Amino acid sequence: MISERGIIGLKDLDRGDIERIVDTAFSLRQTSLKGGKATPSLMGQTVVNLFFEASTRTKTSFEIAAKRLSANVVNFSYGSSSIAKGETTIDTARNIESMKPALFVIRHASSGVMELLSKHLHTPIISAGDGTNEHPTQGLLDIMTIMDEKKRIDGLKVVIAGDIYHSRVARSDIYGMGKLGAKVSFFSPPTLITDDFASLGATVTYDAQEAFTDADVIIMLRIQLERQKTGLFPSTREYARIFGLNEQKLGLARPDVIVMHPGPINRGLELSSCIADSAAHSRIMRQVENGVSVRMSAIYHTIGGGHGPIDH
Ligand code: CP
């Protein structure tokens, strides 16, 4: 259930919640694409984007989504905040809570910080990603993008490839897509995955042929060099050759395979530019487009009282 504390991760949502958020996102998309306001239901409410870590897509997308629901948006900038003077994350959030926002959208580099903050705050939170734990709205927009193209999730072979170990997207995807019946498999070097991913209901393979053969959906993940303290693969050149997606590996998949990536892309490392920009297969920009509708829906279902598609 979407609880009063908000959306912390897809681990906590059931299949019905996920379908409800995605269904509403589809119903909001036409209005969103025209740039218009979908509903005045959040008029006068304030959404605070509390980003303690860098973001291009998620922060912009949440801001646009909240404004299209007629909410006011405040963007907290950690670089110019009193964090620089030593104020803690909890104190920062509690002080801003005293200004009575309706919702926090929070990104933080520490895994589990949403759980911690939700114990100290009364205001609902939507996670915009915490460390290597979860990125629930990315998982939801990935589901929407697959539904958009394939009209179903159940039974599809979804390959998630790359730096699984550091990826909050991989976790949210397996929680969400697993609940909707996808056959998820992870492909990465052994140093970039841990045993617990297999226990989440996915197959783990280190073999490209096994991974990509007959894939319906390929989700390539960014190598997160900023989260790696030691070299987890010999060289970027070798990584690109063995684990990156190129035309030859793509040829193993189904002819109508779609390729996704949460961004930002390391072009030529995990994904060739040719595939990233391929009109036939790449749905990377569609993911970003769907992200606004998904976030409108997530906000609406968290603080807009939504229990079904918005009646336009
Ligand atoms: N996909 C994603 O989370 O991108 P940003 O880090 O730019 O928000």
Pocket probe mutation, ligand 1, options 51, 52, 53, 57, max atoms within 8 Å of Cβ? 57
Distance 28 CA to ligand 1 centre (A): 22
- Distance from the CA of 311 to the center of ligand 1, in angstroms? 30
Q: Could you tell me the pLDDT band of residue 4, with boundaries at 50, 70 and 90? A: confident
* Mean pLDDT within 88-111: 97
Q: Are 103 and 137 in contact (CB under 8 A)?
A: no
**Cβ partners under 8 Å of residue 173, min gap 6:** 138, 139, 142, 158, 160, 184, 219
Q: Is 308 a residue whose pLDDT tops 50?
A: no
The dihedrals phi and psi of 203, each to the nearest 5 degrees, come to -90, 145
Ligand 1 centroid, distance to 73 Cα (angstroms)? 19
Based on the fold, state whether residues 67 and 151 are members of the same structural domain: no
Residue 216 lies in a domain: yes
Q: How far is the CA of 35 from the centre of ligand 1 (A)?
A: 21
Q: What are phi and psi of 75, to 5 degrees?
A: -100, 110
Ligand 1 atom 6, closest CA: 55
- How many A from CA of 54 to the centre of ligand 1? 8
Write down the pLDDT at residue 111: 97
- For residue 309, the model assigns a pLDDT of 44
Q: Give the integer Cα–Cα distance in Å for 88 and 90.
A: 5
Which pLDDT belongs to residue 36? 72
Tell me if 224 sits within 8 A of 198, measured CB to CB: no
- Does residue 94 carry a pLDDT above 90? yes
User: pLDDT, tens digit, for every residue of 206-222?
Assistant: 999 999 999 999 999 99
User: What single DSSP character describes residue 151?
Assistant: S
Mutate to test the pocket of ligand 1, among 56, 168, 270 (most ligand atoms within 8 A of CB): 56
Residues 125 and 144 in one domain: no
**Three state DSSP letters for 214-236:** CCCEEEECCCCHHHCCCCCCCCH
Q: Give dist(CA 68, CA 14) in Å, integer.
A: 27
In a domain, 310, yes or no: no
Pocket-forming residues, ligand 1, beta carbon under 6 Å: 55-58, 129, 135, 138, 262-264
Give the whole-angstrom CA distance, residue 80 versus residue 302.
Answer: 29
What's the domain range around 83? Answer: 6-134+289-303
Instruction: Residue 66: give its domain's CATH number.
Output: 3.40.50.1370
Number of domains in the chain: 2
Task: Indicate which residue's Cα is closest to atom 1 of ligand 1.
Answer: 262
